[in-house]
Every structure is written in structure tokens, then in C-alpha cells.
Amino acid sequence: MDLINVDNVTKVFKGGEGSVTALGGVSFKVPEGDFVALMGPSGSGKSTLLTMLGAMNPPTSGSVIIDGIDVYSLTAEKRADFRSEYLGFVFQQFQLIPYLTAMENVMLPLAITGKSNREQARMAKEVLEKVGLGGKEGRLPNQMSGGEQERVAIARAIVNEPPILFADEPTGALDSKNSEEIMNLFKYLNREGQTIIMVTHNQEFLAHVKRTIFIRDGVLDRSRHPDSRIAV
């Protein structure tokens, strides 16, 4: 069964000078355990698509079904609960909370789950070790390197063990060495069964992912989809 089923979604922004179509009818499916790169030039609609998949941006038409749930039939608050349970996000520029330590940043998604502090700490410590940050739990974001901050961001995104991990330009702020390491981390997580959808500009990483979805002017770029596994 497909984990994600995007069916003919459109997004039209109405502005003062007419309307702008950000997405013009996009459909695809993502099976469980996949590692998908979402590529396209600036303004192509890929960020709109990512937030739409992330249950934060309702489509003008069409549907997004994740694990059998029609995400946008849920109320805004139920969608917040859905994000907490199903989705992990690695944002651009890490987006760590500056006044929380690495450990506390990772515990953040657990704060609303009702788990005990002890259980939260155990989970956060485990996942920080998994991303290679064992022993740096007490550091504040400004006491860590870019690569380390990115790892904290990834740890925060997966601590809840969400079925899907979204990453938005996860290596955009890193040098090539750190970028390579982060890509290896993603591959490792994927091998362990984590479904990952990643927005990237970096062509080099296409070799690491299982599939790539190209998007241009709000529609899938069929000319660049030689891979028949993508249902378009």
C-alpha cells in the first residue's frame, strides 16, 4: 500500500493582480520506505508541495492521503495532532530553538505527547546517539557547528518515530564534507525503514536517493521522469 497518495492537487493564490497557480494538478504516490528527492528551480512550486504534504497547506483542489487518512478533511487542530504523530520535519537553516539545549530541542516534539520526563530523556538521548551527538546533549545551538546543529534538527524530526520524514534543503547551509555526512545519515535512516522526502537543489545527491520527482511551473516535469516507478 502507498504511504502517500497525492491526487491531482492544485494550489491557486489569489492576489491583488489576479491569481497565481503555484501547483497545477500534481499526482504521485510514495510507497513506504522510499527515499524521494523533490527537485526543481526556485518558484517551481516544490516548497508549496512540501508544506502541502506536511499537512500545513491545504490544496485548492485535489487530495493528499497519508496512511489512508485524507489529511485535509481533518480540522486544523486535528492536523496538528496528525503532524505530531505521522510527520517529522527538518527545516531549512536547522531552525533549532535557541534557548533550548540539544537535548531539550530533541525533546520538544515529545513535550506534547504526555510521556514522562524520564521517558522523553531516554528517547532523546538514544536518538542523539544515533545521529552521532552522544555527549553533546547539554549544548545550546550557538555552541555547536552547522553540521552538529543539522544532526540535532534530524534527531528532533525522528525522535517521535514518525512514518514520514520531510527535509527541506537539509544541506543548504553546510560545507561539502558535512553535506556528505548528513546524506549518509539520511541513507542510514532510510535503510532502517524511514520514508524520506527531501527537497534539494544539489544534483550530486540524486545518486543517493531512490527516486526523484522533478517539478517545473507547478506541474511534474514528465520529460525528466524516465523512472517508471513514479506514478504520474
Partner 1 sequence: MKMHNIALNNIRRRKAKMAFLVAGMVIGIATIVVLYTVTGAMEQEIADKFDQIGSNMTIVPRTEALSTSYEGISASDVAGGVRLMTMDDVARIGTIKNKENIAVVSPKLLETLPVDGKQMPVMGVRFEDELKMKSWWKLDGRAPENPDEVLLGFRAAERLGKKPGDAVDINGAAHRVSGIIRETGSQEDSVVLAGLSSLQKISGKAQAVSFIEVAALCYTCPIEEITAQISEKLPGTKVSAIREVVQARQDFVDRFSQLGISVSFIVLVIGSLVVLTTMMSAVNERTREIGIFRAIGFRKSHVIGIILMEAGFISIIGGLLGYLAGMAGARVAAPVIAKMEVAVPWDIQTGLMAMGVAVIMGLAAGLFPAFRAAQQDPVEALRFI
Residues 171-190 binding partner 1 (CB under 8 A) are none
| Per-residue x/- track, 26-65, partner 1 (CB under 8 A) | ----------------x---xx--xx--x-xx--------
Does position 100 interact with partner 1 (CB under 8 A)? The reply is: yes
81 binds partner 1 (CB under 8 A): yes
For the bound state, the minimum distance from the C-beta of residue 229 to partner 1, rounded and expressed in Å, comes to 26
C-alpha cell, 203 = 544534483
Q: Which of 77, 177, 223, 226 binds partner 1 (CB under 8 A)?
A: 77
Name which of 21 and 92 has its Cβ closer to partner 1. 92
89 binds partner 1 (CB under 8 A): yes
Q: Is 69 in the site for partner 1 (CB under 8 A)?
A: no
Measuring CA to CA, which residue among 80, 83, 51 is closest to residue 67? 83
DSSP states of 24-85 as a string?
Answer: EEEEEEEETT-EEEEE--TTSSHHHHHHHHTTSS--SEEEEEETTEEGGGS-HHHHHHHHHH
Q: Using the minimum distance from each CB to partner 1, give the nearer residue, 15 or 98.
A: 98
Instruction: Give the Cα separation of 90 and 168 in Å (integer).
Output: 6
Q: What share of the chain is helix, strand, coil (3-state, %, to 5)?
A: 40, 30, 35
